[in-house]
Each structure stands twice: as C-alpha cells, then as structure tokens.
Structure 1
Amino acid sequence: MPVEQRLCSYSAVLMGSPIVLKLAEPDERLAGDVFRLIRQQENLFTVNRAGSQVMSINEAAGKHPVAVSAPVFALIERAREVSVLPGSCFNFAIGPLVKRWKIGFKGDSVPPAHELQALLALTDPARVELDAQQRTVFLPLAGMEIDLGAIAKGYIADVVKTFLRQRGCFCGLINLGGNLQTLDAPAGEASWAIGLQKPFGEPGALVGTIAVSNKSLVTSGVYERYFELNGQRYHHILNPQTGYPLDNELLGVTVISDSSLDGDIFTTLLYGLGVEKGLAFLADYPQIEAIFVTRAQQVVLATQQPFRLLDETYYVTDSIA
C-alpha cells in the first residue's frame, strides 16, 4: 500500500517481506531498534525457524505440552478464540493444509482430494489444548501444526506502534508487507494518503487511496499469492472447512481499525463471509471498518474514512449489486 507523502524512509527484509519504516525526521538508531524489535518478535512466532516457540509446539504434537512465553500464549489464546467461532474462516490450526499447498512457496499443483481430507482431520482448532496456569500448549494429534502467519504481523505492528510512541515518535508509519500501521500524519497534513493496490494490476497500480491517521490498514487479497493451472487460479486464502481456496465474489478486503491485530483477524473473517454477510457482520463491530473489492469491479465502502477512486474501471458503492 504505497504512501504519497515523502519522509525519511528505512527498509529491511524481515518475515519474508520488505518492511518499510517512515519517520518525520532522520533517526537511523531508532530505525535500527525497530528492525531489531521486529526480528525478535518474528523469532517467537515463526513456524520456519528452529528454536521458535511455535515450531517447538508443532514438533511436540502428539507427544507433550510445551511451555511458552506470555506474549506467545496470549496470541495463541486469541487465535484459538477466533478460530472456534461458528463458521469462522480463520483457523490457526490450518498449518498442515498450508504446508501441503505451499502456495506462494513454489507450490504449483493441486493436492489430491484424499490427501486434503486426511489433513482436514488434523486442523480442528478446538482440539488445541491450552493451560493458562502452566502457560502450555498441546497439540494432541501427531501431525497437527498451528500457524500464526495470519495474525502475527498484526500483533507485531501493534508492538512497533507502542514502541515508537514510547520513544517519543508520534509521526510516522510502519508497513509490514500488507499490515500498515500509521501514527500522526506529517506536519501540515490532516492524514496519510494510503494507496489500495489494484488486484492483478501492474506494480504501483492503485484502485484508489484512503485518508487515515493513527489507524491500521490490513489488506488480504487473492492476487497476493497464487498459481494458475488449466485455466483456474488457486490462491492462498484457504477454506478451513473444505481445504481448498475460498471461492466467492471477492478479490480483496481491506480492514481499517485501531489495532493491526484486529485487522488481521477481520480481513480473514470478512473474506470468508463475502460482501453481503460481511456488511451485516460489521454492524456488531462499529470499531471495525472495511473496503471490499469484488470481481465485478465494485469497491464497496463500509468506512467513514475519505476514499478517492483512481481507476475508472471500478465503481464505488456502499452495498453489493
């Protein structure tokens, strides 16, 4: 999500994504501290690094509970809570399916149906056992794996926001490759102008921009990681009920919220619901706003933040046609 204003910019590749930090004033020391903080947090939650607490949980599946730190336990507890909601498309126990598809990680084939069915039996989030007193996590079946990839970036973005404010930095933004957390807008500006990527467009092509300040924006779309086979596109947003990519009218969802962690959760929930059910769902969560982009070139606004359309092949509405 590109940003129009030009400030002091620092970048690094972390969590498998380019990370960009923008500050009102040059501060290489602060930028370095932010990147070190992100790396430390990543080491707690990744499933791809030896020694991470999440990897230790997965390696102990079917064997024994694993004690974890307070932040890791709290995030797993939140992920489980959302995963067991009736009909939820958020599932932190979906690790075996993600690992088998490998979409975005050189995966370019459709797994046999019988393999997906076998893996579905290992993805029931209600089976994950949490002991708050001992702060342990136990996966009772060998082969079970939790995956916090759908929630960790949001948590880390919120940690960075708090860290920046503690260091006296109140103007800036951090982009964690899809999770963007803003602080105050630059001097003389009322807000940040954040660009929303055009699905399957050229790099830098935007559907429009949204004006925000001290808000998180999280976008999830089918155009981020996918492969095509025999004329069909397979994207990385999996349906935990079927094991296959979710198939509805959406190309992407952007959630605007105070917390980037909430943004991570609601992008997945809303994508799974689709536009009509998603709009109804949001009625119970006034603190969450969203923008839906559909295959029919609609930009459905469920937000009070000013939006500017830049691509005339799309049209703006506040309801599904």
Structure 2
Amino acid sequence: MAFSSLLTQQQPHHNWRWLILIFAVLFSGCERPDPIIEIDGPTMGTYYSVKVARPPQGMTAASLKQGVEKILAQVIAEISTYDKTSELSRLNQNASTDWIPVSANVYQLIAEGQRLAALTNGTYDITIGPLVNLWGFGPEARRDTPPSQDDIQAAQARVGWKKLELQAQPPAVRKAQADLYLDLSSLGEGYGGDQIAAWLKTQGVTDYLVAIAGAIRTAGVNAKRQPWAIAIEEPLIEHRTMHRVIPISNRAVATSGDYRNFFERDGKRYSHEIDPRTGTPVTRNLGSVTVVGEVGITVDGLATALMVLGDERGLELAKAQNVAAYFIIRDGEELRGIATPAFQQLFDHAED
C-alpha cells in the first residue's frame, strides 16, 4: 500500500477491528464442518488477522499467536522506519557511500523495490522516504498543511532510485548520495504476510488466510472447504462498504488507496500516495487498486505503483505486464470498477 507509513507505525490503526469483522462476517453463517483457529491483533500501526483451517495436531490459538507475533516483531526489527534501531533505520543513518552490508531479507525487499522502480520508470521509488516524512506520513510529526515548494524541492533532491546500487553476493547496497533515505513501507505488509505464510508451511499448515491490513496471503480453502472470500472495499471516507468479493486460494492480494491515510486543507485532500516525480500526493479520480498474484511483496508494491501511475497509465502497464488488477474509479458520485484481462480471467467465471 504503499508509500504508506502505516506499515511501520507503532500505534494500531483505529479501523483494524472493523476490517477483521468483514472477514468474520464472510466466514460466518452455517455451522462450520471443520475446525478453525483465528487470531488477530495490532501490528505495524495497523492490524493482522490469521485464520488456520484444519490446524495440525497440537496447534492452539496461543501457539499460533506466539509464532506469528514473533515473526512480526522480526519484520519490524528489519524494516521499520519508526524503530531507530531497525536494520533499515541503521542503513538510513549510515552516511557512507561505500558498500554497506545488508541481510538477505532486506536485500530481497530492496531488490524488489528497484525492480518495480525500473518497471515504472521511477514512478515507484523506495528512496521516497524524505518526501513521505516531509508530508507527515512517516515517523516524523504529522501535519495538516502542505509543505512549501522549497521544502519539496529540497526533499526531492534526496530522492532517486538510480542513486542506489545493489550487490547480490554478499548482499550489500551502495548510496551515490550519503543522505539517501529508504522507505520499504509499500512492501512491508506484503512481506510480513509472506514471512508468516512461510512459517505456517513449516508448521504443517496447508489451509490459511493471513491479512496485514490490505495485504493478504492465502493457501488451500476455508473451514467450509471453499476458497477464501476476500472483500474489496469501496474507496469511501464517509462509510465502509464492500464493493466486491472475490474467491481466493493459493494467492496473494493487496489493495492500495487514497481514502484512509490523508489530511485535508482548504477543501483539498492530500493522501499518503506520493508521486516522486512531482514531490506531491497524487490527485486523481482513482480511488483504489487491488492486485492479485503469487508473492505478497510483489502485489503490495505493484498496488502502490499502479495507484501512483493512475487509472490510465497504471491500467496500461498492468495490461502490458499481464497483472491481475482491479481499479476503482470515482465518476462524480458513482464508483466504476475496471478489471484487467488477467483479473477477469481469474474471477469473472468464478463469481457467476
């Protein structure tokens, strides 16, 4: 979701319990034929929810929660910009322009961010941290007024994905500019889901749903032996409504939107979705983008990238890359959904 600082905040987002309720409603109804363990809680400034159908022998809610929260703590220790001792924070504080060793996990995230930056010609950029912070969506103080143009230009001078060089073996990065500041928040929720999914596999779990805010990983089927039902929310501020429900098995899903993390000034909304080319939040009729794929970090980053590109350029890129994506566009008072061919192929017949 991206360029979203919610991924690394230490205080839970106030809407997480409502979102968990969506899942609970979807999975309730008739009596469940199979056992299921469900846990949830705050993490990274938002929420997590994990559901395990037909859990392996010996797994309890307590043991599941302990394992999941240990993984989430590790994710925060790796990529939080709010934790000044995290690996990413130490990298950002390091003013060296020589090679800086990084862990394999952080390297994987940075490499994926650079791949998406190249794919979008810099519209997606993990060095956007100075702009995220300037606009009040990072670990620094929130704001309710836009920054000056001089401040925007100064922050932009510290942004640029081509200023970052990678070395695969041993994993390391090199900054061309000492004050480069990376923000991996747009990959963080998907990454957390990937890490939990990998751990669940080691525990013998074959049927699960993992949700960290708008990033979801699934495997197998739910307690009714049906695909997991995932709600795509309407991009509205005033109330929360399900726009569409899609059946998901063995895939990752992520949604990015402009309608939850923002501030308003003089009747204008400034969202956390920032375009590094202009240094300002995007202002379009595109309300949200949902992407479905195989890997959490990829769909999480793509959802952000497509959101910043907008409904025209984003849709064009998604079609060209065969991405399963669903765009919700505001047409005045109406909402209009546009699915890419890859998304239609996955879901149109499944929902009939």
> 27, 30, 55: which one pairs with 1:5?
27
| Deviation larger for 26-35 or 247-256 | 26-35
Residue 281 (1) aligns with residue 281 (2):
no
> 65, 78, 85: which one pairs with 1:31?
65
Alignment correspondent of 1:316 = none
Q: 1:72 to 1:114 in 2, by over 3 A?
A: same
| Deviation larger for 132-141 or 11-20 | 132-141
Q: Secondary structure at the match of 1:84?
A: helix
> 149, 152, 160: which one pairs with 2:185?
149
Q: Which amino acid aligns with 2:27?
A: Q
Alignment correspondent of 2:78 = 44
Alignment correspondent of 2:93 = 59
Provide the TM-score with structure 1 as the length reference. Answer: 0.88
Q: Secondary structure at the match of 1:170?
A: coil
Structure 1 residue 259 displacement after superposition: 1.1
Structure 1 residue 70 displacement after superposition: 1.4
Alignment correspondent of 1:312 = none
> 103, 106, 109: which one pairs with 1:72?
106
> 253, 256, 263: which one pairs with 1:227?
263
Q: Deviations over 1:250-300 (max 9, x none)?
A: 0100111111111112112212332233333223333x3111011111011
Q: Identify the structure with the greater helix proportion.
A: 2
Rounded to whole Å, the distance in 1 between the matches of 2:143 and 2:163 is 28
Alignment correspondent of 1:301 = 339
Q: 1:86 to 1:275 in 2, by over 3 A?
A: closer
> 156, 173, 176: which one pairs with 1:137?
173
Q: 1:65 to 1:273 in 2, by over 3 A?
A: same
Rounded to whole Å, the distance in 2 between the matches of 1:85 and 1:61 is 28
Rounded to whole Å, the distance in 2 between the matches of 1:103 and 1:46 is 13
Rounded to whole Å, the distance in 2 between the matches of 1:283 and 1:204 is 29
Rounded to whole Å, the distance in 2 between the matches of 1:221 and 1:290 is 13
Structure 1 residue 200 displacement after superposition: 2.2
Q: Secondary structure at the match of 2:40?
A: strand
Percent same amino acid at aligned positions? Answer: 27
Rounded to whole Å, the distance in 2 between the matches of 1:85 and 1:185 is 33
Q: Which amino acid aligns with 2:212?
A: L
Residue 127 (1) aligns with residue 140 (2):
no
Contact 2:124–2:304 (8 Å) recurs in 1: yes
Q: Which amino acid aligns with 1:291?
A: Y
Q: Deviations over 1:3-57 (max 9, x none)?
A: 2114532112111111111122453212310111121122111122132111111
Q: 1:244 to 1:150 in 2, by over 3 A?
A: same
Alignment correspondent of 1:237 = 273
Rounded to whole Å, the distance in 2 between the matches of 1:307 and 1:240 is 35
Q: Deviations over 1:65-89 (max 9, x none)?
A: 4321111122212212322345332
Q: Secondary structure at the match of 2:311?
A: helix
Q: Which runs of 5+ in 2 are unaligned?
A: 1-18, 29-35
Structure 1 residue 118 displacement after superposition: 1.3
| Correspondence 1:160-309 to 2 at 5 A | 160-201=196-237, 204-286=240-322, 288-296=323-331, 297-302=335-340, 303=343, 304-306=345-347
How many residue pairs match? The answer is 307
Q: Which amino acid aligns with 2:222?
A: P
Q: 1:259 to 1:135 in 2, by over 3 A?
A: closer
Q: Secondary structure at the match of 2:275?
A: coil
Structure 1 residue 219 displacement after superposition: 0.5
Contact 2:112–2:298 (8 Å) recurs in 1: no
Rounded to whole Å, the distance in 1 between the matches of 2:39 and 2:238 is 24
Structure 1 residue 63 displacement after superposition: 5.8
| Deviation larger for 29-38 or 124-133 | 124-133
Q: Which runs of 5+ in 1 are unaligned?
A: 309-321
Rounded to whole Å, the distance in 2 between the matches of 1:233 and 1:201 is 11
Residue 19 (1) aligns with residue 48 (2):
yes
CA RMSD of aligned residues (A): 2.2
